[in-house]
Amino acid sequence: MKLWLLLFGVILSFCSCSPSVDAGRQPYPYWTKIDTSTLFRIHKELPPYGDGRFIDAKININGNIVKPGKIQVLNEAGQVVCEETVWPGEKITLDGPVSAKGPNGLWGFVDVHTGKFVIQPRYRSQQYFHEGLAIVPISKHRKRGIFDRRGRFCYIDITGKEVIPGPFKEADWFQGGIAVVYIDNKDKSLAGWRYIKKDGSFLNDSIYRSAGYFCEGLARVADRKSWLYGYIDRAGKQVIPCRYVCANHFSCGLAKIEAKDASGRHRKLGYINKKGESVIPPQRCTATDFSGGLARLTTTTKGAEGKWIEHKRFIDVTGKEVFSLPNCSGYSCCVGGVYIVGLKRSDSEDSELVGVNHKGEIVLRAPKGWALHYYFEGED
């Protein structure tokens, strides 16, 4: 009872809305997002400089620093066994037991209600549950009986039972009931990446040289013989044949692909839709994935004096230019209508990350002494 009061007290101390429990995730607590404002992560390097020590904070669109809260899980002695940092705007999910370090210095899992270990600490590295399953190593260190990352992997449920034994050389978290794993085999024709479901069965019969996660209903895969890329749907069906030299995940309904020109010597970048149709034809350029409806496209032309000139444009999903940023050195993503870009400083070769609107105007800069680190979106 004391633990529940502590958990709810911490949450209510920095949000005004009441937490709600998702019946599908009981008995583990689940809170909906606290705030719908968009937040951005910033960092400040701590002295002595150069040792990789940073402190993090988050700012809103007005540049105001927002302070975090914390969820603590205590054992019967009142000691903190694990701690989760919670940011306003973040959806907090404790999806099963929480990873915690034991007195032996190894990692296990504790119950969020009692603070007791339900899976004893025996792993060298921290593990996490996602969609009710966690990826853990299955081989033991011969002398100490410790599970480490040098062996193969399997999936366990919240009781610690191996539900998908594997063994897998590499494994990824489940997303929407599907995960991608690498199966090793002495027969190289049977080794490669495959998709599995939560019951341990395979999504299809195919073995891939490369396999990505599902995004907007499709996953990027590479054929083992041709090394070319295509896409499959969540049923495991090949919906776009493997015919591209390189391909990225879908975003905003489009995927960036790389194909060879007619001569076969040069590569060009373009964008296709989910039917495999060319929407923005391949051309000699550099380009980013779409985010927030825009992508950065950079082309070069030779000027009057024989110098190459870069044209850095932001285009929409039809290929139409929306705005240009000549001093843009990079493009990260769009968060809440703000596009995070790198701009070269006029007085040096360094760049700084800033936020611009759909007109290319700067609307967000980190406070003095801080640097915009990477984006964080509070909304789904």
- Could you list the residue range(s) of the whole structural domain that residue 80 is in? 1-32+68-133
Determine contact, residues 370/351, Cβ cutoff 8 Å. no
pLDDT of 65: 76
- Which residues lie across from 170 on neighbouring strands? 182
Q: Which one, of 361, 229, 219, 251, lies nearest residue 317 by Cα? A: 251
pTM for the model: 0.76
Q: What is the chain's pLDDT, residue by residue, as a tens digit (380 residues)?
A: 433 433 333 333 333 332 222 222 222 232 333 333 567 777 777 665 555 566 777 777 777 777 766 666 666 666 666 666 665 555 445 567 888 888 888 888 888 777 788 999 888 888 888 888 999 887 654 444 455 555 689 999 998 999 998 889 999 989 899 999 999 888 888 899 999 999 999 999 999 999 999 999 999 999 999 999 999 999 999 999 999 999 999 999 999 999 887 777 778 999 999 999 999 999 988 999 999 899 999 998 887 777 888 889 999 999 999 999 988 888 878 877 888 888 887 766 677 888 899 999 998 888 877 888 765 543 32
Residues in the chain: 380
Which secondary-structure segment (H or E) carries 5?
A: helix 2-12
In a domain, 269, yes or no: no
pLDDT of 20: 27
Determine contact, residues 209/180, Cβ cutoff 8 Å. no
In a domain, 223, yes or no: no
In a domain, 97, yes or no: yes
pLDDT of 323: 94
**Do strands 278-283 and 351-356 pair parallel, antiparallel, or not at all (unpaired)?**
unpaired
In a domain, 103, yes or no: yes
d(C-alpha 372, C-alpha 59), whole Å: 9
In a domain, 28, yes or no: yes
Q: How many domains does the chain have?
A: 1
Give the largest CA-CA distance in the chain.
77
Q: Which one, of 203, 7, 184, lies nearest residue 86 by Cα? A: 7
What's the chain's Rg over C-alpha atoms?
A: 24
pLDDT of 26: 26
In a domain, 179, yes or no: no
Summarised one tens digit per residue, pLDDT across range 138-184 is 765 444 445 555 568 999 999 899 999 888 999 998 989 999 999 98
Residue 11: exposure state from Cβ atoms within 10 A (0-12, 13-18, ≥19): buried
- Which residues lie across from 137 on neighbouring strands? 153
d(C-alpha 155, C-alpha 185), whole Å: 19
Summarised one tens digit per residue, pLDDT across range 209-239 is 999 999 999 999 999 999 999 999 999 999 9
In a domain, 372, yes or no: no
Determine contact, residues 89/33, Cβ cutoff 8 Å. yes
In a domain, 210, yes or no: no
